[in-house]
Amino acid sequence: MTQDATAVQSIDPARFRQVLGHYPTGVVVITAIRPDGQPLGMTVGSFSSVSLDPMLVSFMPTTASKSFQALREADCFCVNVLAADQEALARRFARSGPDRFEDVLWSVAESGAPVLDGTVASIHCTFDSIVEAGDHYIVLGAVQALEVHRPVSPLLFFQGGYGKFSLLAVEDRSPSEMIESVRLVETFRGTMQDVADAVGAECSALTVIGSDLTVVATAAAGGLAPHGSLGSRIPYMPPLGELYAALDADESALRWLGRAASLEDEDVMDRYRERLELARERGWSMSFAGEYPDVALFDALRDYSGGDLTPVRLAEIREVIRSANKYYEHRDLVEGERYDVTSIVAPVMCDGLIRFVLRLRQLPTQATPAQISAWIDALTDAAATASETLSAHGSCR
């Protein structure tokens, strides 16, 4: 027992800090109004949720903190959860000096405590108790009100540096794979341009990188501005990337299928399997969403490609995509009818494995069945030519 205590005392404080710095924290600014009406605030990394019933949170100011000496005199304080783009505020509220609020945008909340602009969330508290713990206090705050203002990635602090949250689920994006794919596509870029010109549409090449279908080249007929810019990403999950999944290696295709939310719903899963079978038989696929009349789907795809995703937004995006299922249902084209086709997709194969898909978009609207089958023929021919070029090139993977 005595030995243990000695061992603890012999730890160098610098080492204590260094080791504890390996544990990341969020960053908040605790704010309050002084009795003289002036706002005060301090940056804190030791904030934590404590209890649900009653609702308590905590933070740990050092006993030497002048800000906390003033803060504890207030009736109410606000925990301002900083966003990833608010590093400057974290630095400002950690430096000494009275001018921390200069040029900072804030307002007084109903609780009477200051709320900083642009934060992720605010939590308004009264003091429940303050316990001394070594050279710090443990402050328990009783939560009176709370709100999310901006559901974005929070600011994080780790090993003395600032960072932001990134989802492992969408982070397996290898730049080297992207570069290699862009290089390979160059071998058949001319074919893509030819089919884009012949159809009067946009032709993109996409490939699976990590858990995404990524655009690695785009060619557009004269007068069209390409929509799918190089590097833009779509989640590789049902119903998107159906043709790629139909021809992909079993393991990867199963992973694609596994991203459907309806794993327990055998009817839905059977429909997906049937569609994979159909895509495999036909060697092409087609969708009829129109040019994104579905705003939720458009926003979801834009946000996904844009990066900076929170777990909640990713879950929402996946839900929106799953409900886009209807656009990918098989349709029998009827003579005399006209159709707005969103995309037609055909595979570029190499050594019997799918390597890319070619996707036609921005197709002329109100197309006849004859026109659509001519486009399908043109695209599947182009994809076959691209497959030959790629195989002749000799470096499929």
Ligand X SMILES: Cc1cc2nc3c(=O)[nH]c(=O)nc-3n(C[C@H](O)[C@H](O)[C@H](O)COP(=O)(O)O)c2cc1C
- At 330, list the tokens: 């098989």
> Any idea what DSSP says for residue 69?
H
Cβ closest to ligand X, residue 60 vs residue 376: 60
By CB under 6 A, residue 241 contacts ligand X: no
Kindly state the tokens that stand for 68. Answer: 């906390």
Burial class (CB in 10 A: 0-12, 13-18, 19+), 20: exposed
CA–CA distance, 62 with 120 (Å, rounded to integer)? 25
Binding-site member from 21, 39, 46, 50 for ligand X (CB under 6 A): 46
Distance of alpha carbon 123 from alpha carbon 28, whole angstroms: 10
CA gap 128, 72 in Å, rounded: 11
Region 132-191 residues binding ligand X, contact defined as CB under 6 A: 157
Binding-site member from 33, 57, 60, 208 for ligand X (CB under 6 A): 60
Q: Which is nearer to ligand X, 65 or 252 (CB)?
A: 65
Closer to ligand X by CB, 74 or 286: give it: 74
* Residue 68 or 244 with smaller CB distance to ligand X: 68
Q: Does 378 bind ligand X (CB under 6 A)?
A: no
Among 90, 156, 178, 276, binds ligand X (CB under 6 A): 90
CB of 19 to ligand X, least distance (A): 17
Q: How far is the CB of 30 from ligand X (least distance, A)?
A: 9
Rounded least distance, CB 34 to ligand X, Å: 12
CB of 282 to ligand X, least distance (A): 57
- State in angstroms the smallest separation of the CB of 159 from ligand X: 11
User: Do the Cβ atoms of 113 and 74 come closer than 8 Å?
Assistant: yes
Size of the site for ligand X (CB under 6 A): 17
Binding residue (CB under 6 A) for ligand X from 32, 57, 58, 61? 61
Report H helices in the chain.
2-9, 13-20, 66-71, 87-92, 175-185, 189-199, 242-247, 250-258, 266-282, 295-306, 311-322, 369-393
Cβ distance to ligand X smaller for residue 83 or 217: 83
Binding residue for ligand X, selected from 49, 51, 62, 395, defined by CB under 6 A: 62
Assess contact for 359 and 204: CB atoms under 8 A. yes
Distance CA 11, CA 34 (A): 39
Q: Which is nearer to ligand X, 134 or 352 (CB)?
A: 134
Nearest Cα to Cα of residue 83 among 6, 28, 139:
28
Residue found by looking up tokens 């009783």 in the block: 142
Residues 43-51: contacts with CB within 8 Å, 24+ apart? 43/89, 43/90, 43/91, 43/93, 43/94, 45/157, 46/136, 47/79, 50/140
In the complex, the smallest distance separating the C-beta of residue 33 from ligand X, rounded to whole angstroms, is: 16
CB of 171 to ligand X, least distance (A): 24
C-beta atoms surrounding 295 within 10 Å: 9
Kindly tell me which residue out of 94, 121, 261, 384 binds ligand X, with binding defined by CB under 6 A: 94
Say whether residue 77 binds ligand X (CB under 6 A).
Answer: no
3-class secondary-structure state, position 39: strand
Told to check if 86 binds ligand X by CB under 6 A, we report: no
Q: How far is the CB of 227 from ligand X (least distance, A)?
A: 41
For ligand X, the closer of residues 27 and 208 by Cβ is 27
Contact 124, 144 (CB under 8 A): yes
* Closer by beta carbon to ligand X, 42 or else 390: 42
Residue 157 Cβ vs ligand X, minimum distance, rounded to whole Å? 4
Q: Among residues 45, 226, 238, 241, which is the contact residue for ligand X, using CB under 6 A? A: 45
Q: Quick check: 84 binds ligand X (CB under 6 A)?
A: no
Q: Which CB, 42 or 199, lies closer to ligand X?
A: 42
At its nearest, how many Å lie between ligand X and the CB of residue 66?
Answer: 4
CB of 329 to ligand X, least distance (A): 52
> Which among 335, 337, 343, 334 is positioned nearest to 363, based on CA atoms?
343
Pairing of strands 114-116, 56-59: unpaired
**82 in contact with ligand X (CB under 6 A):** no
Backbone angles phi, psi at 206, to 5 degrees: -125, 150
Residues contributing to the site for ligand X (CB under 6 A): 27, 42-46, 60-62, 65-68, 90, 94, 96, 157
